[in-house]
Amino acid sequence: MKTHWRILVVDDEAVMCESLAAWLREDGYAVDTASSGHQAVEMARTTDYAIYFVDLKMPGGMDGIETMMQIRRLRPDASIIIITAYATVDTAITAMKEGAQEYIVKPCNPEEISLLVSRIIKVKNLQRENTILRMKLTRQYHFRDVISKSACMRAILDLAAEVASLPSTVLILGDSGTGKELIARAIHYSGQRAAKPFVAVSCAALAETLLESELFGYEKGAFTGADHQKRGKFELADGGTIFLDEIGDISPKLQVDLLRVLQDRTFYRLGGTEEVRVDARVIAATHVDLRQAIADGKFREDLFYRLNVIEIRIPPLRERREDIPLLAQHFVERFAHELGKEISELSEGALKMLMDYNWPGNVRELENAIERAMVTCRGHSLTEEHFAFLAQNGAHAKGLTIPAGMSIQEMEKLLIVSTLQAVDGNIKEAAARLGIDRSTLYEKIKKYEIPR
Amino acid sequence: MKYLYVGATAETDREALTAIGSFLSAQFQLPLREMDLPSVDFAFDARRNQYGSIAVLELTSRLCPDDAIKLVAVTERDLFIPVLTFVFGHAQLGGRAAVISLARLRQEFYGLEPNRPILLDRACKEALHEAGHTFGLVHCADHGCAMSLSTRVQQIDQKRAAFCLACSRRLVRGVIT
């Protein structure tokens, strides 16, 4: 996976520049060249090079040290190697003091350069692994971690960044798998509450009484088995953010309780008489059309307006297809790392398949599809054959007969039944094909009373 | 019909050239042709007492016959690129021309007794390595593979005179077109 790391060689002597670049390319790295310090700085603005080889003596008012200093301002993590034919102790000291990782004298032994580059790349691989593991451990995400180039998503991210520092309640709307929790986490970790807890609760995953005790906690003896006092998620999120996912699925009683918390910032633990005061910012999310739910009498209008202070609507993936290549490449790189596979690219045919597919399960379905394809891939790039299951998914969907007048709920039930049949009742596989979490699938199976 | 060419400058050990030609022809299963190459003295750098491999490679590329799939040039001259102290060989990555030097493959370069089998073994491996680059292969992490990077002769001695399975697959999958 060397090609993931780009190298820039900067030297005013074309032959020097090209020969080193060619030598590094033979080693499998993606290498660009720049003939001046100015050009190198411009290239560093647009491309994140892992290593820069910079010649010390260059004309044009910007020598190697100045070039290195400007690059370091733009790319503090870059490794810069100063190369020179005229080594002096003074220049070596200056270069190292200004942040050069190494200082080498040309001509140098091939082994020296080879070991130097592989040592730097090894450290960079470890740093990247460390970052990924730390992010996984704390599940902290920022807006820069949201991968998108679509104008509508950029507008959403701008809005989310603006509201991050406000205490206002946020309602995130979007289909399953669009990344509602990712946006909620980004809002939390970009605001003033970042150092405090982010507590996520899936309202659809729990029965009414369980959800109530989860959210508000309980006192000892509140119910059979309550042998000690337990603090609820609202208390755990004190000072931070509570993320209420699938808010559209909560019961009328809980809607009332929640309304009271939002209005008064106080609640009672189950079985408790003491009022508990919390300062938790509420971010709610749902895939349900809440306005329709209000019209149907299933959701309280007053709660909706309490939640809907700032509304963020995330479009489904099919409405921002320009993000598919970017996301697909991101997942390829991530899974290559996680699965320890040397897969670095998608063929044109595979990418076309991904672009043409409808992605009912959105980004999560794309993520699952890439992981599934990479598990079966034996080569270095993912091709159409690795995504053959997408065509099957499409075929299954086409095979469904949807009579006019069928409700969306009935259609959803039909799709779930058909998918479960296609995978012989395998929940994990069915959830992957549908592009939803296993817990969401279990909920829907329960909701539609689908026999298993 | 297309051929794999091997060429040598006048001073080059002809037995080594023949051994390299037969070996590469068998490895790539391509018909072989030999050709003579002019002197590379023009690439001599008096300051370094070596020959610039970029210039030699450019010459090789210019002389590459129309019916050549690849041309691997062999010289006795010690080659270098400006940034490095020496190179065993040099190739156009994904191109048609490659050059190898026998100078540092000889035991006598390191003050040892001449050893013909060792020289021929190293020459064949180095030629296969540079030819691999012309077919688009890059350095391989498998130290036993002919495409692994060698910066010392000991590393050439340790690797096999063949590509590893992964490099062979890459070669078959798309490199030979």
A363-392 pLDDT tens trace: 989 999 999 999 888 888 899 889 988 876
A35 residue type, one letter: S
pLDDT tens, residue by residue, A219-250: 888 787 778 888 899 999 999 999 999 999 88
The region, left, alpha or beta by phi > 0 then psi within -120 to 50, assigned to residue A187 is alpha
In chain A, whose CA is at the least distance from the CA of B136? A26
Cβ contact B144:B95 at 8 Å: no
Query: Of the given ranges (A16-30, A143-157, A255-269), which has the lowest mean pLDDT?
Result: A143-157
Is residue A229 included in any domain, yes or no? Answer: yes
- Is A282 found in the same domain as A159? yes
- Alpha-carbon span B44 to B76, nearest angstrom: 13
Instruction: Tell me which of A74, A105, A136 is where a domain ends.
Output: A136
- Do A348 and A285 belong to one domain? no
**Looking at the domain assignment, is residue A395 inside a domain?**
no
Instruction: Kindly provide the ipTM of the predicted complex, given to two decimals.
Output: 0.82
Q: Which residue of B has its CA nearest to A113?
A: B84
Q: Which of A18, A19, A115, A381 to mutate to test the interface with B (most CBs of B within 10 A)?
A: A19
Number of A–B residue contacts, CB under 8 Å: 63
Name the closest residue on chain A to residue B81, using Cα atoms: A19
Tell me the residue type at B46.
A
**Residue B113: active-site member:** no
pTM value?
0.57
Q: Which domain holds residue A329?
A: 319-390
At a CB cut-off of 8 Å and minimum separation 6, what does B74 contact? Answer: B6, B7, B8, B9, B12, B16, B17, B20, B99, B100, B102, B123, B127
A408 at interface of B, judged by CB pairs closer than 8 A: no
DSSP A393: H
For residue A107, name the pLDDT band (cuts at 50, 70, 90): confident
Least CB–CB distance from A111: residue in B80, B91, B151: B151
Interatomic CA distance for residues A274 and B60, integer angstroms = 90
Residues A205 and A299 in one domain: yes
- Domain identity same for A192 and A215: yes
Q: To the nearest whole angstrom, how far is the Cα of A104 from the nearest Cα of chain B?
A: 10
Residue A35: inside a domain, yes or no? yes
A149/A264 same-domain check: yes
The neighbour count for residue A363, using CB atoms within 10 Å, is 24
User: Of how many residues is chain B composed?
Assistant: 177
Ranges assigned E (strand) in A278-336: 281-286, 310-313
Please report which confidence band the pLDDT of residue B177 belongs to, taking 50, 70 and 90 as the band edges: very low
CB contact under 8 A, B83 and A111: no
Q: What is the mean pLDDT of residues A336-352?
A: 85
Is the pLDDT confidence value at A394 over 60? Answer: no
- In chain A, % of residues over pLDDT 70: 94
Q: Is the CB of A15 less than 8 angstroms away from the CB of B82? A: yes
Domain B3-175 is of which CATH architecture? 3-Layer(aba) Sandwich (3.40)
Domain count, chain A: 4
Residue type, B171: L
Closest CA to A192 of A118, A279, A106: A279
Domain match, A241 and A375 both:
no
**Nearest in space to A443 (alpha carbons), one of A178, A180, A210, A136:** A210
Q: Are residues A132 and A52 in the same domain?
A: yes
User: What are the tens digits of pLDDT across the range B144-161?
Assistant: 999 999 999 999 999 999
What is the pLDDT averaged over residues A328-340? Answer: 86
Residue B175 pLDDT > 60, yes or no?
Answer: no
Q: Mind listing the pLDDT tens digit for each residue in A148-185?
A: 888 888 888 888 888 988 889 999 999 888 889 889 99
Beta strands in A153-256, from DSSP E residues, in sequence order: 170-173, 198-202, 217-218, 230-231, 241-245
Q: Check whether residue A324 and residue A294 sit in a common domain.
A: no
Nearest Cα to A180, choosing from A240, A136, A245? Answer: A245
Helix (H) or strand (E) holding A79: strand A79-84
Residue A374 in any domain: the answer is yes
CATH of the domain at A428: 1.10.10.60
Q: For residue B27, what pLDDT is reported?
A: 93
Q: Provide the pLDDT confidence category of residue A110 given band limits of 50, 70 and 90.
A: confident
Which CATH number do you get for residue A247?
3.40.50.300
Identify the domain boundary among A291, A315, A339.
A315
Taking the C-alpha atoms of residue A386 and residue B158, their distance in angstroms, rounded to an integer, is 37
The dihedral sign for the CA sequence B42, B134, B74, A9: positive
3-state SS, A28-40, equals CCEEEEECCHHHH
Structural domain ending residue among the three candidates A288, A315, A342: A315
Q: Chain A contacts of B131, Cβ < 8 Å?
A: none
Q: Categorize the per-residue pLDDT at A1 as very low, low, confident or very high, splitting at 50, 70 and 90.
A: very low
Q: What is the CATH number of the domain that holds A352?
A: 1.10.8.60
Average per-residue pLDDT in chain A?
A: 86
CA A304, distance to chain mean position in Å, is 28
User: Cβ contacts (< 8 Å) between B138 and chain A: which residues?
Assistant: 2, 25-28
Q: Are A217 and A254 part of one and the same domain?
A: yes
CA A121 to CA A340: how far, in whole Å?
16
Cβ contact (<8 Å) for B84 and A25? no
Q: Provide the pLDDT for residue B176.
A: 47
Q: Search chain A and give the residue with CA nearest B57.
A: A19
Residues A126 and A160 in one domain: no
Per-residue confidence band for A77, with pLDDT thresholds at 50, 70 and 90: confident
In a domain, A65, yes or no: yes
Q: What does residue A97 show for φ and ψ, rounded to 5 degrees?
A: -65, -35
Flag if A107 and B139 touch (Cβ within 8 Å): no
Chain B CB contacts of A110 below 8 Å:
84-87, 151
Residue A232 domain-assigned? yes
pLDDT at B3 over 80: yes
Find out whether B110 and B131 touch, Cβ atoms under 8 Å: no
Strand blocks (E) in A108-169: none
